[in-house]
Each structure stands twice: as structure tokens, then as C-alpha cells.
Amino acid sequence: MRILEWILVLLTVAATVLMLVFPKRRAMTVGILSALVLAVLLHGLINSFRVQMIPTYLVGLVLFITLIIQLMKSYRSGRYVQSAQQPNRRSWIKMTLASILVLAFSAGSILLTWLLPAFTMPEPTGTYAIGTFSQHLVDESREETKTPEAGDKRELMINVWYPVDQEAAQGLPLEHYPSELGEAISLVFGIPSQVFSYLDIIPTHVVQGAEMSATQSEYPVLLFSPGIRSARFQSMTMIEELVSHGYIVVGIDHPYTSARVTFPDGRIVSYEADPNFATSEELYQYNVEGIGIRAADASFVLDTLTQWNSHDPNQLLEGKLDLDQVGIMGHSYGGATTAEALAQDERFQAGLSLEGGFWGKVSTTDLKQPFMYIMSGGTAKSFDPNASSKDKVFYPEFEPDLNRVMTSSLNDTYYLTVENFFHQSFTDISFISPKMFARGMTPEHNVDITRSYALAFFDRYLKGEEQPLLQESSAKFPEATYDTTYTKIRNEQTQ
């Protein structure tokens, strides 16, 4: 809870007590009213209003109306003196009930802000600042299969995050979390999106309008594909960390499987729920088709980046993209997109799947690129044939597909399990509500696990740097353990 929020809560409680105990003192009434208005204005201007504080806002509104009525009555009568009448029993009961009600509302605000705090993002550990721009892309070679209009082309929204010199970023306003994240969290957890409307007051470490750093002549490139019902901004802590270490990261929103995609002309494409299927085989084939579309999205984005490297309409990326060192990563459905993109497009040199599936060509061919898979401890329990329940992201074909991909790969594979993680732990959800989603660890440690292993993997395979974190379990992250069956160094040249 931020300082001005505490002040507003305490002020409403104190004002209620003073009004009940000294109900007819004009100077005190004016003072309380002035303090209340000032506190609300400062809170709104500096902190911004948010849903979690609604109970306190309601108390403040009732106080404001009551105080105004009292002042109007006093000026209308021309006098304002304290009543000499002693409070009777009924008055004490009213005072007690009012006090209890105000305390309950205040406690409600405190509880809600405790559950959903206005957090501060962890600092990236690299030397670069972070710039960004968004871009609308249209793939003229593919028709959109989800629209009723024939001939519609496949459209995407992307964000490009790129390295910036620290001096160039100074003085530029920081970007905030976009509103799309609230919609994504609402879809995933079934919580009203209004609860997360405050996220757009959370500053990131990203700026717009800054020139790309010239420290390096070119930078390796990473594509990021979010989970189903999610957004390209879902893992900003990981993206910021990678960019701060010298990567250009491109986040992709995939219309109809991302939560909400807003195009520059104002059109909004929302998530389209899967139809119901009678068998898991039918659902499996449906996902093969869906992941195929997403993998094609990734290849199209890489095609676009290749064009921009020769002629960038934004005059920012031209000649700066190291297209010989391109990786791809994703979470959940985005992890499945990652694996399939590796199988379909050999331009991707390495891939990281954060608990994704294996739908499509990847389940029948041998991967040629280094591949890392990170599994949450919660989902890993579904492998136990005696498990009383299976995680909802676990499906019957998953285990044989995983086994085939990891054992038949022609390059290095890593399989890491993280205890106390659940499926959404690979996003920034632990910061959005530490009490509900950072299980057995701090939110800082939670996101540090994902961003550290992601950085180590791509530094090893796109930059050729030795990484102790990939060689054995780390004392820094005791929750993370490698599976020796699926973790294999096959390419001796990478050692």
C-alpha cells in the first residue's frame, strides 16, 4: 500500500471519529473537508485511482456529502454551535455502528491493496536501457481463417524492444504496463478485468523514441510468443532482462488466441474460445492447426525483420539485426509455437519453451536446433500415473510427444523442473499478487528463475558464452533441477 493510500484511509477513519464525537463545530468541519479533498486530489494525481481503494472512496464520498450538508445548514441558519445535549443510548449505538462500518470498509481497502499491490518491477541486470515501438503487420500471402469475410489477410501486432544507451534514455518518460494485461489475467483466472485496471499505472523500464545503441554493430534477435488468452506484454521482466543484455526482442500478439489485439485503426480482435470436442484426438488435431498458424506468424515476423534489416521504414533497425543468431521463446501455447517454429523454420537457431505442448511437425521430426524446456513442479506431478488429478494444461498425448521430441533431437536439449511453480509462474503474475501467486518464494525470486535461465540459454547458443547455470543445478535456484533423461549435450562443439 502506497503512502498516499495509507494517508487517505487513516484520514477517512479519523474524520469519521471526529464528526461523530464533535458533530457541530464549523471550523473543524471546514478543516476535515479541506483535508479530505486535498488527500483525494493528491492520491488521484500522484498515485492514480484504482479499484482496490473503492471501499475507502465510498467512505470518503459519504463523508464529503455529509460535511457539505452540515456546512450548508450552518450558513443557512447563520449559526453553528455545538449542541449541549449529551448523547443518549441511541446516539451511542449509531456512533458505534458507523465506526464499525467505516473500519470494515477501510480494512477492505487494506486487504485488497495487500492482495493486489502496486508493485515495482525488478531492475534488469544488463548494461543497456530499453527502447520500444509497436507495429501493425499484414501478411498478404495468407488469408485469415477466423473472420467471416472472405479474402481478409492475416494481421498481427508486434512490439520490438531494443538496446539503448543509458544516457540516451535519461529524461524520457517510462512506458507503463498496457491495459491488455488486465484482459488477459481476467480470461485466465476468471477475475473481472476491472480489478486489474490499475496495472497501467505501473512503470516499466522501457522508453519510446530513443535511438538504438551503437555499442554493437548488430544484435541477436529473439521472438516471443505469449500463451493462449494472454498478451505480448505478459513477461516484461524476462523481456527487459534479455534486452538489457543486448538482445532485440520481438513480442507477437496472435489474433483470436491472444487475449485482445488492438489495431491502430481502433479495431479490436478478442480471444475466441475453442469449440467443444467429443474426443481428445479431435482437440489435438485442432491444436495442430492452431499452432501451425502461430508458427507461420513467427516465420512471417522473421521475414519482415529480414526486410527491415535492409530497409527499415522506421529507420531504426536497418543493419542492426544479426539474423544469423535468431532465437524464439514462448509460454504455454507460445511454447508450443516455439517448438513447432523450430521444426518448420531452420532460421531459428535455438528455442525455449516455458511449459508448452508439442502439436504438429515437431512431434514427428527430429529437432536440429538446441532446445530448452522448463516445466513447473505443479504440472510435473501430472506425470504420476497414480495422481488423483491432472493439471488442466496436461493432455493425454503430451508425455509421448515430449519423450519423442527430447530423445530424438539431433542437438542439445535441456529439461528443467521448477518446484513451487505452477503454469502461470512463468509470467509476471507473482508481482501482480504475491500473496496468491508467489508460492513459497518472493516474487523477485520467482521471476529471477525464468529470466536467468532464459538469458543463460540464449547467451550460450546465440552468443557462444559458457554458462554454469546450464551445466548443473544451482545453489541460487534450489527449486530448479535438470532431468538427466532429457537433458543431453549431443553437439560436442557447444561444450
pLDDT in tens, 427-477: 999 999 998 899 889 999 999 999 999 999 999 999 999 999 999 989 999
397 in the same domain as 280: yes
211 domain residue, yes or no: yes
Q: Is residue 142 part of a domain?
A: yes
Residue 329 near residue 352 (C-beta atoms within 8 A): yes
pLDDT digits (tens, 9 = 90+) for 322-376: 999 999 999 999 999 999 999 999 999 999 999 999 999 999 999 999 999 999 9
Q: What is the pLDDT of residue 116?
A: 86
Domain end call among 66, 86, 115: 115
Q: Of the residues 64, 92, 115, which one is the last residue of a structural domain? A: 115
- Band the pLDDT of 268: cuts 50, 70, 90: very high
| pLDDT at residue 86, as a whole number | 55
Angle CA(328)–CA(346)–CA(292) in degrees, nearest 5?
70
Burial of 56 (0-12, 13-18, 19+ CB in 10 A): buried
What are residue 175's phi and psi, to 5 degrees? -70, 155
Three cell numbers, residue 119: 508493485
Specify the CATH number for the domain of residue 310. Answer: 3.40.50.1820
Residue 95 scores a pLDDT above 80 = no
CB distance 327 to 348 below 8 Å: yes
Inside any domain, residue 480: yes
Output the pLDDT for position 454. 98
Q: Indicate the residue type of 418.
A: V
How many domains is the chain built from? 2
264/410 same-domain check: yes
Q: Give, in order, the Cα–Cα distances in Å from 35 to each of 11, 18, 29, 104.
A: 8, 13, 10, 22
| pTM: predicted TM-score of the whole model, two decimal places | 0.88
Q: What is the extent of the structural domain holding 151?
A: 129-494
- pLDDT of 218 strictly over 50: yes
Give the residue from 115, 146, 172 where a domain finishes.
115
Q: Kindly state the cell numbers that stand for 160.
A: 520490438
Residue 52 included in any domain: yes
CA–CA gap between residue 397 and residue 391 (Å, rounded):
14
Q: Are residues 467 and 333 in the same domain?
A: yes
Does an H or E element contain 6, and which?
A: helix 3-21
Q: Among all chains, which residue has been given the C-alpha cell 512506458?
A: 175
The answer on 298 and 268 residing in a single domain is yes
Q: Are 298 and 345 in contact (CB under 8 A)?
A: yes
